[in-house]
Amino acid sequence: MGCLKLTYTPKLEVVHHKTKTTPSGEAKRVQWWIRVDPLFRDYPWNSPYAFSENDVIRSVELEGLEKLALSGSVPQSQYHSDNTDFTGETAYNDIHINTFAKQTTRLNKLYGFNASKVSTGNDVINKLITETKSKGYVSFLGFFGHGSNSGFLLKCDEGFYRSKDPDMVYGAGEANLSDLKKNILKGNIKFSKDAVCFIDACNNGGLWGDKNEQKKSFAYKLAETTGMTVIAGDGHVEMDNPNNANGKFKITDGGSFYKFTATPYTKITKIDNPDKSWYQFWKPSKVEVKEKAYKVTVQNIGTEATVDDYVK
Question: CB of 247 within 8 A of CB of 103?
Answer: yes
Going by their DSSP bridges, the two strands 191-200 and 229-233 should be labelled as parallel
Rounded Cα distance, 200 and 300, in Å: 16
CA 107 to each of CA 103, 112, 115, 142, 247: distance values in angstroms, whole numbers, following the listed order: 6, 7, 8, 10, 8
pLDDT at 5: 40
136: left (phi over 0), alpha (psi -120 to 50) or beta: left
151-184 confidence digits (pLDDT tens):
988 887 889 999 988 777 788 899 999 999 999 9
Give the range among 85-99, 187-201, 254-268 with minimum mean pLDDT: 85-99
Residue-range domain boundaries for the chain? 1-84, 92-310
Assess contact for 239 and 64: CB atoms under 8 A: no
pLDDT computed for residue 253 by the predictor: 83
What's the confidence (pLDDT) of residue 53?
72
Residue 9 has pLDDT above 50, yes or no: no
Q: pLDDT tens-digit profile of 39-83?
A: 666 666 677 667 777 766 656 665 556 666 554 433 434 333 333
Mean pLDDT of all residues in 273-301: 87
Q: What is the pTM of this model?
A: 0.68
Over residues 205-210, the mean pLDDT reads 91
pLDDT digits (tens, 9 = 90+) for 104-134: 888 888 888 887 888 899 999 999 999 999 9
Handedness of CA 83, 89, 91, 97 (dihedral sign): negative
Q: Is the pLDDT of residue 241 over 60?
A: yes
Instruction: Give whole-number Cα distances, 150 to 72, 83, 226, in Å.
Output: 30, 26, 17
CB 149 within 8 A of CB 203: yes
Closest CA to 172 of 187, 154, 157: 157
Residue 59 contacts residue 70 (beta carbons within 8 Å) = yes
